[in-house]
Structure 1
């Protein structure tokens, strides 16, 4: 269905009434405001939220009673939670429990560990605390793209869509086409916690608003910029067997991989990133041949595959592939194939997340490992990375123009940005999953279901089962990711070191395109990506000579590379003016 036709079909959303907005008081210190009336079934004023301080009973309590557990899990009382970040997390609970009998339909991509979100235990608690029922629509794993396309083309939309950027042209295009609601005028009134949190830091504010000042959805926004999460990881036994130090330059990496092959690792480097992609920003970054767009020294947008040293990079990788230093299925292997190879005696080095490999290597198979900085060409150069977290984390959500109760949808999403929502979504259920330390900070005790799952599932699974790892919320990755904070885990140390010691100044910020730009950028981007993948893969595999790169670059120019870059530069210029 043509999107303009679709927008016309669904028409203009009827005017919605105001949600009651009395200011909540988590510790008895805030003054209430006059509540507004609603047109819901239970029209009237919301009661002022005030709690008895139970911090003395909960903080540092390692053996809470059933009554104490119920007080934490079944009420909105958050007086036991400390303020552990630079900015305080909001505690406005005036909208809860939401009046009336409301059920929201929420479309969300499937998670292999929780294929049906309607059984997710954290979401059950959110429903009880907010008074808003939710029906999750979760397509089968691997069918998310087809499910989304079918949903949009049918014109039958749920109330909320998680990961709305799947819309052709992105979130902003979805609003402009009439699929999603522009929430700008309603955000402060109906989402006071999200509004307060996003405005409490300039980076959070800047990365959650469009170039023209509109608020189109709810973003996962963290208290900090999360650490770099992907890089070179080496089995400690491979270092021991080769007798070599952690390599830093490309030449040292070649020497190490060659020696690793000599001592028995038949495919020493498991090469790849998001499983099947040949670009990783790791080895190619040493040559300045970044995966996609990046900022040059003058702050201008450039395209990584078109940089001067691309042929040097391709020559190196073609040689390494010919010498058998890479896994043979690097161009096609999915996650499960890569993990199976990782724990075999074929692999010495993984390009992956230390969180993931702490689970697969260390916890499940007893392999110690170390992190290595991204390679450089010359000894003494600072490693570089084209990744930076701009306090944007998790995922995002949009409310559709077919939502029956916009206020309820906003209240449901806004709960994630309260102090109670931060605790529950990041740390799961009190008692079984987490406890509270003497400073009011949640933590996982040794007997937590995260580590001691009754069903015997590993932490890599329980982090999705008992908490929300990806959700539009205040994502507290550094403190709540069990793969980082587990006793003995050093994945967080690796990620922190990578972040602090590598230069990320070339990273593109989260820019947005206008409706006119979005479709053209997507068209050009898809063509350029397909062209790059085809040429680079064939060159590395030796099916084309390195000089075929010249033809690749000429074809990229004919396709409209300059126009593609101009679109990104215009979007960057607008972002810088936000």
Structure 2
């Protein structure tokens, strides 16, 4: 992990008006900012400054979409943020809000200094147009040395972070290391494969044979054919398995043109395959509506063989669930199956983009001191800030061992408490506008989880579309039209899988997609992709 500069204490407060045009908390005042040039990380020279940078009156109010930790009312009660405030000499007041409350804040002028939000497509630009958040290019270029350094080192990240207009509106939650981005995939009961002398499947034909053998081979040993080989939690995994055919809702073909998988012949092949699994009892008939408790019951009853899930919340959680129930229970990660051209594609954006979570920290126009707010945000991307956020307070939740922050037994071995729960009370290691830490990953992930990630990361991601941003003119087609079509598509694919819709009507289904405007959606996505590609070239030059 590279060492970055810590944040500064000296700042020209008189530059505020020039930098941001920031308005006061008097919401009757309308002041627009004059940031007209996108950040050039190659020429930017942010100040190298030291802690603390606040003064006795410095205070930031922060509306955050993240849930307060278990047993705490807010981040204000987590020791790390008390230490954060002490180091920076800035009083911090976190206000945890729901998605609905965040939308209400954005619909009003009753704004805090900072918003930490999962920004949906076009939402940041809309908030800027409504004079609610600031363009951050100038502020970052002068007061965010750590974030600018990350952007400089990662041109693709920079090209995905900017909006369609080329400007930056937030500090993002980043997963820059590949291992941090690979945290879900398909998994299968290894003990059942061994019991039935089955090999791990590598393509869809082999998977069918394995599921058939499990259905007929009574691996749970109860003398009944009650196994349901392939289950899903409320359809989770359905959108990912199209990669076995080399397609996704949107993907890049071998000529780097953006395509919609729903219009390709491979999509029909996929639905016919799933229909066959469904008809033969290899796919859970309740795959689309199974809730968590029902999902767990099918596993604990010894019925399920394969499903999609997280390395932590899926594989590790299920292993813990099954430990007292079945000592022979063993899960293995299933590789991404090879398509007809011999490539094992994965088109999950989370695997490729450091920005896939879309979590960002934005500074509002109600902020009286955006320079201090910028420094506060940037400190999270320094080595010291990353350690504080990922590990908490030294001597309490971690100690240094051979130069590596190492969780104490308070985190790893509190009786009756899972490590994830204790992490949530003392750290924000798994989600906050920061660069996620590999040191956290190395200590949190158990060996079986790391082994699963090693399997899942062995895939071809060349067809994956990066994070795309849309102009105001494109948004209606890219979002509203697409959502309407997507709702129809979800309804139809379940009908095809379950046999409620005959494949004789498949051409009519595709014609309906076209009549609803799917080709227009593809065009605006292609335009956005070309804009991303051009931006990337400009950044790299």
TM score, norm. by length of structure 2 = 0.81
Show the 5 A alignment for 1:138-177: 138-139=96-97, 144-166=98-120, 169-177=122-130
Aligned partner (choices 509, 521, 526) of residue 564 of structure 1: 521
Give the SS at the match of 2:186. strand
Q: Does 1:206 align with 2:167?
A: no
Give the SS at the match of 1:320. helix
Deviations 1:19-73 (A, max 9, x none): xxxxx977xxxxx999444369xxxxxxxxxxxxxxxxxxxxxxxxxxxxxxxxx
Deviations 1:208-265 (A, max 9, x none): 2335431211012344334422211112222233221111121221121222223146
How far apart, CA to CA, are the structure 2 residues paired with 1:546 and 1:372?
Answer: 30
> Which residue of the partner structure matches residue 232 of structure 1?
186
Q: Does 1:38 align with 2:1?
A: no
Q: Does 1:180 align with 2:140?
A: no
How far apart, CA to CA, are the structure 1 residues paired with 2:194 and 2:5?
Answer: 58
Contact 1:218-1:397 within 8 A present in 2 as well: yes
1:459 deviates by: 2.5
> Which residue of the partner structure matches residue 135 of structure 1?
93
> Which residue of the partner structure matches residue 450 of structure 1?
411
Q: Specify whether residues 577 and 122 from structure 1 end up closer, same or farther in structure 2 by C-alpha distance, changes over 3 A only.
A: same
Q: Specify whether residues 34 and 171 from structure 1 end up closer, same or farther in structure 2 by C-alpha distance, changes over 3 A only.
A: closer
Q: Does 1:405 align with 2:369?
A: yes
Deviates more, 1:465-474 or 1:402-411: 402-411
> Which residue of the partner structure matches residue 10 of structure 1?
none
Deviations 1:251-299 (A, max 9, x none): 2211212222231462221225xx44563322x2222341x21101110
Show the 5 A alignment for 1:57-206: 92-94=48-50, 96-111=52-67, 114=70, 116-118=73-75, 119-139=77-97, 144-166=98-120, 169-206=122-159
> Which residue of the partner structure matches residue 513 of structure 1?
470
Deviations 1:515-534 (A, max 9, x none): 22123311112112101111
Aligned partner (choices 376, 383, 407) of residue 419 of structure 1: 383
Deviates more, 1:554-563 or 1:184-193: 184-193
> Which residue of the partner structure matches residue 249 of structure 1?
203
1:130 deviates by: 2.0
> Which residue of the partner structure matches residue 347 of structure 2?
386
Contact 1:248-1:375 within 8 A present in 2 as well: yes
* Number of corresponding residues: 483
1:569 deviates by: 0.8
Q: Give 5+ residue unaligned stretches, structure 1.
A: 1-23, 27-31, 41-89
Q: Give 5+ residue unaligned stretches, structure 2.
A: 16-45, 221-225, 324-328, 536-541
Q: Specify whether residues 427 and 149 from structure 1 end up closer, same or farther in structure 2 by C-alpha distance, changes over 3 A only.
A: same
Give the SS at the match of 1:348. strand
Deviations 1:86-143 (A, max 9, x none): xxxx99553524113333232222438547433334333322222223332223xxxx
1:335 deviates by: 4.3
Aligned partner (choices 341, 366, 372) of residue 334 of structure 2: 372
How far apart, CA to CA, are the structure 2 residues paired with 1:261 and 1:311?
Answer: 25
> Which residue of the partner structure matches residue 395 of structure 2?
431
Runs of 4+, deviation exceeding 6 Å: none
Q: Give the helix-richer structure, 1 or 2.
A: 2
Contact 1:287-1:377 within 8 A present in 2 as well: yes
> Which residue of the partner structure matches residue 215 of structure 1?
168
1:418 deviates by: 1.1
Q: Does 1:281 align with 2:240?
A: yes
How far apart, CA to CA, are the structure 2 residues paired with 1:400 and 1:340?
Answer: 46
1:416 deviates by: 0.3
TM score, norm. by length of structure 1 = 0.76
Contact 1:164-1:398 within 8 A present in 2 as well: no
> Which residue of the partner structure matches residue 231 of structure 2?
270
How far apart, CA to CA, are the structure 2 residues paired with 1:133 and 1:340?
Answer: 47
Give the SS at the match of 1:180. coil
